[in-house]
Structure 1
Amino acid sequence: MLEVSGIRIHLTQLDGGDERELALCKKALAKKLRVNASQLRGIERRRRSIDARKKADIVLTFTLRTELAGGPSQEAAVLSKLARAHAEKGVRAVDEEPFGWPGAIDAATAPDARPVVVGAGCAGLFCALSLAKAGLSPLLVERGDDAARRSRVVEAHNATGELDVESNIQYGVGGAGTFSDGKLQTGTKSPAHRLILETFVEAGAQPQILWDAKPHVGSDVLPRVVTNIVRMIEEAGGEVRCRCRMSDLDVTGGRVRSVTLTQTAADGSQTEEHVAASCVILACGHSARDVFELLRERGAPMERKTFAMGVRIEHLQADIDRALYGPAAGNPALGAAPYKLSCHLPSGRSAFSFCMCPGGYVVSAASELGGVVTNGMSLSDRAGANANSGLLANVFPDDLPGDDVLAGVELQRRCERAAFAAGGGAYVAPAQLVGDFLAGTPSSAGGRVAPTYPRGVAWGSVEKCLPDYIVGTLRDALPRMGRQLHGFDVADAVLTGVETRSSSPVRVTRGADGQSVGVAGLWPVGEGAGYAGGIMSAATDGIMAARKVVEALGGAGGAAE
C-alpha cells in the first residue's frame, strides 16, 4: 500500500459533495504517482485539513492511501521511478501492524476478583472495553445515568433549574465529553488513536472523523455512541452499572482490598455492597471531588497541579468565519470555522482559548448545589448562530494558599458560588460584554451576540467571580488575541462566567507501572487523575492502563486482536 501526503485541491474546485471530493482526490493521486487512475485500487482518506493562509485561495490538503492493481511489485516500481525523477517526496510504502486490543488473559492467571473501573467517561469506557476483550469481565460503575436518561435530566435542569447532583453534564455515561461537542483532535500522538476513532465509528459516529484534521462527533450524536460502547463492553463480558458510585475504598497494608458501592434505585432508595477488588481503575473525571476527598482520607498520594479557569466567550459565528476564511466564508466544504488562540504575556502568565465550539452553545455544567459552571458544546451540524470557547488563564500550585492538596478544588468552588450569587440564583449565569470588561464597567444589556447559556444570564460583571490574577491576565490578553484573530476582542462579544472545570486541579500520583505510588492495585487514569486533557488522550490513557493491568496478570497486554 502507498501513502501519499500533500495532495492539494483548491476550494474553488469543490462543491461540498463527498463524491466530487473523492473524484478530485483520485485524479490528483494518479497524477502524483504518475499512473493511470484505472490502476488505483480504492482510495482511503487518512487526513483532510484546511489551509486558509491565503484567504483568496483556500486549499484542502489530503493524505491518501491506495493500492495499485499490480500489487507490491508495481508499487515498488512506482516508488523507484519517482525516486529517479526526484519526485518521491510525500510518497511512501506502508505495511503497518494495526494497534489492537489486549490479548486474552489465560484463565489460569486471571484474578479471583474482577477489575472494578470507577467512572464511565472516555478513560473508563475504553479501559473497561479493553479489559472485557481480554476476558477479565470488568465491573464498570458510573455514579450518573445512562446516556438517554442523562440527556433528559440535563434538559430538565435547563428548563427548571433543578439540579441532580448525581447525574448532570459532569456525571453520567460518557463523562463531561458527552456534552462538550465530542472534539477528537489532540496534541498527543499514539498508535491507539486510530483504534479509538474506529471504535467511535463502529459505535455510530460519522466516518469523517477518521480523516478530518479536527474531527468532532457532536453532542446530539454522542449519547448514541457511548450507549453503543456500553453495549460492546457488555457483549464482551463486562458489566456496567449506572447510578452506582464508589462510596468507600478499603486500603489495608498499602493495597486495595475492596470497594464499597452505593446503588441508587429509581425511587431514590440506596443499597450498599462491598465488592472484593485487588484491581481498581480510577477513571473518576475532573469533577469527582468526593473521590479526591476519599483518596486523601485513605492515604493515596496526590499532588497539586496546574489547571485553568476563566469564562466562556461568544461571538457571531459568521464573524469568525469571515475572519478566518475571508470571501470563502459559508462555503459548505469549509463548514463553521474553528480557532485556537494563545497569548504569553510579559507578566509571565498566559491566556488561551479552550474547547472551542463552532456554531455552538454555552451550557450549564454545574454538579454541586449553589454553584454556576459553564462549558460549551456543538451539535453535529455546527449550525448555531454563535461560536464559543473557554477563555482561560492558568492557576499554578504556587497561586494557592497553604499546603492542602485540594486547595484548587476549594478555589473552584468559591468561584462557582460567587457566580451563582452574581447571577441571582437558579443557576442563572453572570455575563458581561468584552468592551465593558476591558473598561472595568458592569454591563447592563447585550448587543449583537445573544447569549446561549440555557438558564439565562444576568448582565453585570464577571470579574467579581474570579481571582484578580485571572481577571488581569484575561484583560491583558484580549487585545493581543484580537490582533491574532480579527474581531476576537470586539466590544459586543459576550463573556459568561465561570468556567472552572477545564481540567483537574490535582494529580493522583502513579508510578511507571501505572499504579498509585502508595496504594498497590489502584490505577489512576484519565483527566480526573491528572493524566489526560480531552477525549482522545483520556481514551488512550484508559487503553494503556488496561494493557498494563493485563501485563501485570501475565497476559499479552500489547497483543493485537
Structure 2
Amino acid sequence: MILVRNLRLEPGEDLSRLSAKAAKKLRVSTSDIAECRVVKRSLDARKKNDIHYTCSAAVALRAGEDKLLARFAGKDVCAYTEPVYDIPHVEAASRPVVVGFGPAGMFAALVLARAGARPIVLERGQDALSRKAAVDAFRAGGELDPESNVQFGEGGAGTFSDGKLNTGTHDKRMFWVLREFAAHGAPESVTYDAKPHIGTDVLIDVVQNLRREIISLGGEVRFGSRLDGIVAENGRLTHALVHTAKGNYTLPCTRLILAIGHSARDSFEMLRDLGLDMERKPFSMGVRIEHKQRDIDLAQYGRERGELPPADYSLNVHLPDGTSAYTFCMCPGGKVFAAASETGGVVTNGMSYSKRDGENANSALLVTLHTDDFPGEGVLAGMYWQREIERRAYNYAGSYRAPAQLVGDFMVDRPSTGSGSVTPSYEPGVTWGDLHEVLPEKISSVLHNAIPELGKKLRGFDAPDAVLTGPETRSSSPVRILRDDSLQSSLRGLYPCGEGAGYAGGITSAAVDGLRCAEAVLRDMQNE
C-alpha cells in the first residue's frame, strides 16, 4: 500500500472524499484506486481563519504501486505497511493470574487468552453494570462502596473518565490496542483520530465485550475478588491469597500480573510489608477547573463552534522559582465527578460522554510534585499525603460534596459564596469556600502563580468566574514497583503492570504495558 500524507478536509467534509484527494496527489484516476483508508486525522486550528483537518490515507492501487512510488521522493508519499502484532500460542498446565481488570489487566488477559493460557482475573470491584449502579447512587448522594466505585471494578478508573485514548507513540502495540477497542464497540474513529475519544457511555459496553471474549477463550473473570496477600517460597511466588464476600481462599499461582491501579492503597501497604522493592515516584495534585464550553470554543476557534468538535486545550507553565503546573485530562463538554474510593475522603476527576455535549468544559489543573516535596518518610509517603488532603476536603465540606471556589476569589484569598456564569457540575454538589483551607501551601501557591500565566496562553482561562473544585489527587501513582528486564519484581513470578505500578499514565499506555507484561509471561511459559 501507499501512504499519502497531508490531505486536506474541510470541517463537515466526508471522509469518503479522501479517495479523490489522494488520487489527485498521486496523479492517478480514482478508478485506479482499489482501496483508500484513513490512517490519521488531526484538526489544524493554528490559523483561526483557516481551520481544517489534515489527514493521511493508506491507498491500494489496482496495479503499478512500485512504479508509482519510484516517481515520488517526498515525505508526503511513501510505502505503507500496516503494523502487525503477533500473539504466540502456548501449552502450559499452570494458569497465569491477572490482578485488576482495568486497561492494563484487561489487555494483558486478552493477550493471554488468545495465546491459549486461560488466565484467571481477580477484580476487587464489580462488573460494569453493577459498578455503574453503585457509582450513580453515590453521585446522587448515597453511600460510597469502598470496593466498587469509580476506581475499582470492570474497566478500571478509565471507564468513568473521558475515555481519551492518547497515543504518544507509534508502537505497534498501540495500533493493536486501538484496533481492539474499535473491534469491541468503540467508534472506528479511535483508530485514526489524533486525539481518540470513546466516552464513558460507550466505554461501559466496550469493556463488557472485551470480558466476554476473554471468557469465550477459556479465561475467567472473578469479580468481588480482592488480592489480600502473597505466598512465596525461595524468592518465588507460589500462591495468591484472595478475599471475597463469601470467604477467603488460597489460589495456586506461579505467574501473576499485578495491575491493581493507582488507588489500591491497601495493596501497596501489603506489598511494602512483603518487602517488595518499591520507590517513591513524582506525581501531581491540584484541582479541577471549569469554564463554559462555548468560551473555550471561542478562544480556540475564534468563532462559534458550528460543525467543529468541542474545543480542547493542553497547557503548561514553568515558573521562575522552578515549580510547574499543567492541565491534564481535559474533558470538552464534560462533567466533574466524585472519584473517591475511601470512606471519608473527597476526590475529583473529569469525564465526558461520547457526544461531549455538556455545557461546561473541565480539566485537571495540576502541580508537579517531586519526591522531596512529600511530607513524612517511607516509600508510601506520597500516598499518605494524598489521603490526608482528601480527608481534609471531606472534613471541610462535612460530606462528599467537594470544596469549590471561583478563580477570582482564589486569587485574592477570599472565600466564595456561590457561582457566577459557570455552574459547577460536580455531583453530589459543592461546598463553596476557600480551597487554601484544603490544599497544602505548596500546591495553592503554585496554582496562584500559574493561573495568570496560563491565562496568557488561553484567553479566558483565568476568568474570575471559572470554577475550581478539588482536590484532584489521583492523577497518577505516587509509587513505582520496581521490575527488571524480564518485567518481574524482586519476587520472581510477580509482574508489576500499568499505572498503579508506575509504568503508565492513561488508558492506552496502561493497555500497552499490559501487552508487554503478557508477552513476558508468555515467554516464561514457553521456557517451561
- TM, length-normalised to structure 2: 0.98
How many angstroms apart in 2 are the aligned matches of 1:99 and 1:21?
30
Name the counterpart of 2:84: 98
Q: Tell me if structure 2 keeps the 8 A contact 1:10–1:57.
A: no
How many angstroms apart in 2 are the aligned matches of 1:221 and 1:472?
39
How many angstroms apart in 1 are the aligned matches of 2:344 and 2:495?
32
Name the counterpart of 2:398: 424
Does 1:367 pair with 2:352? no
Letter in 2 for 1:472: S
How many angstroms apart in 2 are the aligned matches of 1:414 and 1:402?
12
How many angstroms apart in 1 are the aligned matches of 2:457 and 2:376?
38
Alignment of 1:281-360 (within 5 A): 281-327=257-303, 329-332=304-307, 334-360=308-334
How many angstroms apart in 2 are the aligned matches of 1:462 and 1:97?
48
How many angstroms apart in 2 are the aligned matches of 1:113 and 1:210?
35
Name the counterpart of 1:559: none
How many angstroms apart in 2 are the aligned matches of 1:66 and 1:96?
11
How many angstroms apart in 1 are the aligned matches of 2:483 and 2:293?
42
For structure 1, list consecutive stretches of 5 or more residues without a partner in the other structure.
265-269, 557-561
**Shift of residue 509 of structure 1?**
0.6
Does 1:61 pair with 2:80? no
Alignment of 1:409-558 (within 5 A): 409-425=383-399, 427-516=400-489, 518-554=490-526
**Shift of residue 468 of structure 1?**
0.8
Q: Tell me if structure 2 keeps the 8 A contact 1:145–1:243.
A: yes
Letter in 2 for 1:191: K
How many angstroms apart in 1 are the aligned matches of 2:244 and 2:437?
39
Alignment of 1:189-338 (within 5 A): 189-264=170-245, 270-327=246-303, 329-332=304-307, 334-338=308-312
SS in 1 for 2:230: strand
1:377 to 344, 347, 351: 351
SS in 1 for 2:5: strand
Letter in 2 for 1:98: V
Q: Tell me if structure 2 keeps the 8 A contact 1:257–1:278.
A: yes
Q: Tell me if structure 1 keeps the 8 A contact 2:72–2:78.
A: no
Name the counterpart of 1:7: 7
How many angstroms apart in 2 are the aligned matches of 1:192 and 1:230?
19
Q: Tell me if structure 1 keeps the 8 A contact 2:179–2:191.
A: yes
How many angstroms apart in 2 are the aligned matches of 1:309 and 1:454?
20
How many angstroms apart in 2 are the aligned matches of 1:530 and 1:378?
25
CA offsets 1:384-435 (integer angstroms, 9 cap, x no match): 000001000012110123431111111000100111112121x011000001
Q: Tell me if structure 2 keeps the 8 A contact 1:183–1:216.
A: yes
SS in 2 for 1:489: coil
Letter in 1 for 2:38: R
Does 1:168 pair with 2:154? no
How many angstroms apart in 1 are the aligned matches of 2:376 and 2:172?
41
Provide runs of 4+ in structure 1 moved above 3 Å. none
Name the counterpart of 1:267: none
CA offsets 1:422-470 (integer angstroms, 9 cap, x no match): 2121x01100000111111111111000000011111101122121111
Q: Tell me if structure 2 keeps the 8 A contact 1:357–1:377.
A: yes
Name the counterpart of 2:65: 75
**Shift of residue 9 of structure 1?**
2.6
For structure 2, list consecutive stretches of 5 or more residues without a partner in the other structure.
none
How many angstroms apart in 2 are the aligned matches of 1:123 and 1:179?
16
Letter in 1 for 2:8: R
How many angstroms apart in 1 are the aligned matches of 2:512 and 2:115?
16
How many angstroms apart in 2 are the aligned matches of 1:118 and 1:184?
22
Letter in 1 for 2:519: R
SS in 1 for 2:31: helix
Letter in 2 for 1:552: D
Q: Tell me if structure 1 keeps the 8 A contact 2:83–2:172.
A: no
Does 1:407 pair with 2:381? yes
**Shift of residue 96 of structure 1?**
4.2
Letter in 2 for 1:385: E
1:44 to 18, 37, 52: 37
**Shift of residue 277 of structure 1?**
0.6
SS in 1 for 2:153: coil
**Shift of residue 555 of structure 1?**
6.5
Letter in 1 for 2:517: A
Alignment of 1:116-195 (within 5 A): 116-195=97-176
Q: Tell me if structure 2 keeps the 8 A contact 1:179–1:377.
A: yes
How many angstroms apart in 1 are the aligned matches of 2:283 and 2:173?
26
SS in 2 for 1:356: strand
SS in 2 for 1:221: helix
Q: Tell me if structure 2 keeps the 8 A contact 1:339–1:356.
A: yes
Q: Tell me if structure 1 keeps the 8 A contact 2:375–2:385.
A: no
SS in 2 for 1:160: coil
Letter in 2 for 1:331: G
**Shift of residue 174 of structure 1?**
0.3
The root-mean-square deviation of aligned C-alpha atoms, in Å, is 1.3
Q: Tell me if structure 2 keeps the 8 A contact 1:169–1:179.
A: yes
**Shift of residue 184 of structure 1?**
0.1
User: Cα 1:403–1:142, aligned 2, differ >3 Å: closer, same or farther?
Assistant: same
How many angstroms apart in 1 are the aligned matches of 2:75 and 2:168?
25
Q: Tell me if structure 1 keeps the 8 A contact 2:336–2:349.
A: yes
Letter in 2 for 1:526: G
Q: Tell me if structure 1 keeps the 8 A contact 2:345–2:392.
A: yes
SS in 2 for 1:49: strand
